[in-house]
Amino acid sequence: MWEIVPGAQLGRRERVVFWATTVAIAVTRLMAIARTPWDWDEYDFMLALQKFDVRLHHPHPPGSPTFVLLGQIAHLLVRDEFRSLQVVSTVAAVLLFPVAFLLMRELRFGFAEAVGGGALLCFLPNVWFFGGTGFSDMAGLTLLLASVAMLVRGCRDRNAYWLGSLLLGLAGGMRPQVLLAGVAPGLLATWYNRRRPFDILVALLIGALVMGCAYGMAAHLSGGWSEYRRLLELFNRYNTQVDSYHSKLRPPLESLLQPFFVSPYGNPTLGWDLTVLAGISLLDAFVRRRWNVWFIAAIFVPLMAATWLRLDHNSRSRYAMTYAGMQAFLAVDGLAALARLVPLPSRARVAIVGGAVIGFVAFCWSWTAPALTIARTTASPPVQALEWLRGHAGSGDEIFVDNGLHPHAAYMLADRKYVEVQSETAARPTPGVKAYFVGEGRHSERSLVEFHRAHGSLLEIARRRYFDIRIFPLHQIPIYLEGWDDLEADRAGAQWRWMRASGTLRVPPFPTGGELALVFAVPAQGAGPAQVLTVRSEGKVLDRFSAVLPGAMTRIYDFPGGSQPRTVEIATDQVVNPRALGVSSDDRILGLQLFTLEWVPIGTAKPRVALLDGWYGLESKPPLSWRWAKKSARAKLSTLDTPGVLTLDLESPHDRDGRSIVSVVTIEAGAIVDTIRLDGRIQRSYTLPASAHPHDVTIRSDQAISPMAQGVSADSRELALQVFSIDWRRADTPAR
């Protein structure tokens, strides 16, 4: 079944190829060295180098003590914590090819397959990318493959058996799950050493001692065994409820088969090509009874299953590194199996396999290199944002950090006072004090500054977090108090937040006065009375109106200058529960969907038109859209610090024969009063002066029709004017 004699020695040409490939791959590892840390776990490890304590998630349980120890050793030579972790990962990435080559040779694969399998593994997108970061996965992968290679060699060499046990213990000290990959080679080596029980006992003691020391020290530095055990239980419960297949938030297991096993690095073309070749390898191994191929499956399949069932699917690219060797090794063996079908000399078949591997490496390069360039040449958005705060927020300013950036802030703002909050809605800045909120997100009107990282293949290789970080100046923008849900967005980038039955805002003071603009919609109620909204400030009713469906509505309110913040409350008399209506599983109480909230000094707002009473909902018949007005309709124009131009596009209704109804229309805009005879469609423009208060606009018509009364349709509305547009712009801005 298994050859326990040493394999054939490498010839001179083979040694040259091996060392040339090793050096070439080592040089390419430099391309992956990231400029800055980026993700949560990297900062946890950096904090662990300062003070190891699993209670503080420095790092998270169980603590990866082996990786932290290696990082501490590197830290003796490298001052920066992140660079120390990178040194460990990069050294492991450099060693990965010779270790993978050694493993395949120990499994009795040919020289070409060993070189090709090792090289392909090194250039898989996730393996290449994470080899230049501060994660433990690369070091864990290299240690795991080295331990398996030594355990296989341990079938004939006692020292290799013991060394394999040592290396497996070190790998388990980074992530205990990898011990699953050591079961098959460990049992194999133990079987061949069954007549030497002392050797088996020593191997078991070595592995147990290494892991015992690693996790014993982790427990000692984290409050003792009882506290450490409690932390492990909590972490396991969290993993079960949130990350594992037990979680209701997790996609179905069958939908995760391809993401975990075929293309965890986000390129289905590459993933399926390699998977098909791996399948050919297994088929060839079944026909030819090649046990080394099935032994590779025995090594990695338990680890694959555990990862698929238990770990966070959002981080699958990184977690899949531990079993990436199976896809790479078997894919190259599948190429060799196909080459054997061609009646050519062995050297020609080797050339075919080598050329195919080079082609796959080139494909990996084209997919991965742009992502490496981004990580290598640009600072991550969290680093940029927190450095911006360090440079712009004064010592007396308040900083609120979204808890999604907890470890980032703990490391980068260690010498600054800040408050960690669940979301921006939980921030409670002190009135009159400059305050900033930093969290994930993009393209918000509330942002003072935003930091982004380009997507491309990087979005598929890395975890989809921390690509976009924004900073809000809480002392200049409204603060959401009670009654609001967190910000939501769709795939097109549209953003909104839901209000419950009522919601309270706090707006900062502006010496010259401020203007509050709201753009919102109400949830569809079906048949029934219109939803009534009430807006109050400091207990005084500012506005009470019926919401018009369908479409978004705008309301504008101006406030006098002052030195104290104001509270604004919005209340609705109707709410919906989507789950109760059978629309979705959303069990929230929804009263109002807020799209835009703008609070600016008087005169500096974007030109907006708020439709008040007398209007119907937006209608359309491509390419036109319009809304009908009653015989009297009112609107309000936002304040401008320069003259503005109001343009109206109106048309009178038609009778049942399609003829325009002649009407007399009076337009009052600010101090302007214009009376016109309307017979068809017209456009009118009016220049209004700058004003410290919004301009009121009233449109009146002396005629109206009812389609139902005319027998045209079942529409019983009073239709006086068909309004195609109401455009309000600064006078120095070209008309749209």
- Write the CATH number of the domain with boundaries 482-601: 2.60.120
Q: Tell me, what's the pLDDT at 331?
A: 97
**Three-state SS for 655?**
coil
CB contact set of 471 (below 8 Å; sequence gap of 6+): 385, 388, 389, 436, 437, 438, 447, 448, 449, 450
Q: In what order do the strands lie in the sheet with 721-730?
A: 615-621, 624-629, 721-730, 644-651, 681-688
Tell me phi and psi for residue 120, to 5 degrees.
-65, -40
Distance between CA 191 and CA 183 in Å, rounded? 12
Q: Hey, where are the domains in the chain?
A: 12-231+255-377, 381-473, 482-601, 607-736
Pairing of strands 449-452, 468-473: antiparallel
C-beta separation of 537 from 517 below 8 A: no
Q: Which residue has the tokens 């290199």?
A: 369
- CATH class assigned to 607-736: mainly beta
HSE-up of residue 145 (Cα within 13 Å, Cβ side) = 31
The token pair that represents 637 in the structure block: 């124009």
Q: Which residues of the chain have pLDDT under 50?
A: 1, 527
Q: What distance in Å separates the CA atoms of residue 604 and residue 610, rounded to the nearest whole number?
A: 16
Quick one: pLDDT at residue 527?
A: 47
- What are the tens digits of pLDDT across the range 668-702? 998 899 999 999 999 999 999 998 888 999 999 99
Cβ–Cβ contacts within 10 Å for residue 622, how many? 5
Rounded Cα distance between 196 and 202, Å, is 10
pLDDT at 626: 92
pLDDT for position 5: 61
Same fold, 482-601 and 607-736: yes
Q: What angle do CA 631, 633, 636 make, to 5 degrees?
A: 165
Q: Is 401 helix (H, G, I), strand (E, B) or coil?
A: strand
Q: What is the structure's pLDDT at 602? A: 87
